[in-house]
A and B are shown apart, each in its own frame.
Chain A
Amino acid sequence: EDKVVQSPLSLVVHEGDTVTLNCSYEVTNFRSLLWYKQEKKAPTFLFMLTSSGIEKKSGRLSSILDKKELFSILNITATQTGDSAVYLCAAINAGGTSYGKLTFGQGTILTVHP
């Protein structure tokens, strides 16, 4: 059974802090890992990572995948109150009868105080 585990489950920081969110996975026929941000509504897409060691960046957010150790991290630098959200990662299974199946982690609740 495919499994994705995120840590920490919740995190409280102050504006300006840097945070690192973790996502480990056990997925047969692993294809890619996705990161999403969810603010009280539907999740919005942040990154898709397929290759190991290649960092994806978008402004103050960056993410990297380690396919040998089966994990990914999401970094947010100089956090702002608008970064407060639930961050979800999901792994894609691309093999056999589970082709296209996504498994999500539990999410990390990030709270950024002014």
Chain B
Amino acid sequence: NAGVTQTPKFQVLKTGQSMTLQCAQDMNHEYMSWYRQDPGMGLRLIHYSVGAGITDQGEVPNGYNVSRSTTEDFPLRLLSAAPSQTSVYFCASSFLGVLTYEQYFGPGTRLTVT
């Protein structure tokens, strides 16, 4: 199993550009989510999904879109990049079983918006 993969690892954007961060998992996890991590802020939930076709907003959804057309993929779209979106982005997945909520994290994408 490759686990959770994210691409790209690094990205530099200019203000106003759009892009998609890719996330894929091969563990048949129902739950997938996107977080951003800024210094001193822990991990803040952007969007999450409990299954294909179902998405919901987290704490900081503004400026980001997601879709979940398959169980495996959960891309995050930045519609019009802003410097405030400079951050490290982590994708995570897990089963939704009663006692099995361990999140598996991808390696992260470091995004800089100039």
Which A residues have a C-beta under 8 Å from some C-beta of B?
Answer: 1, 6, 9, 31-32, 34, 36, 41-45, 48, 50, 88, 90, 92, 97-107
Contacts and interface: CB of A to CB of B under 8 A. Distances in A.
A90 B96 CA distance: 16
A103 B45 CA distance: 7
B84 to A, nearest CB: 18
Contacts of A103: 45, 59
A104 B44 contact: yes
Contacts of A106: 40-42
Contacts of A9: 40
B74 interface: no
A67 to B, nearest CB: 15
Contacts of A44: 105
A82 to B, nearest CB: 20
Contacts of B106: 42
Interface of B: 31, 33, 35, 40-45, 48, 50, 56, 58-59, 90, 96, 99, 101-103, 105-108
Contact of A41 (B59, B99, B108): B108
A43 B105 contact: yes
B11 to A, nearest CB: 17
Contacts of B44: 104
Nearest to B48: A101
Contacts of B99: 32, 48, 50
Given A41-B108, A88-B42, A107-B42, A100 B50 contact: yes
B101 A92 contact: yes
A45 B102 CA distance: 7
Contacts of B56: 97-98, 101
Contacts of B41: 106
A50 B99 CA distance: 8
A49 to B, nearest CB: 11
A101 B58 contact: yes
Contact of A45 (B33, B90, B103): B103
Nearest to A50: B99
A1 B59 CA distance: 9
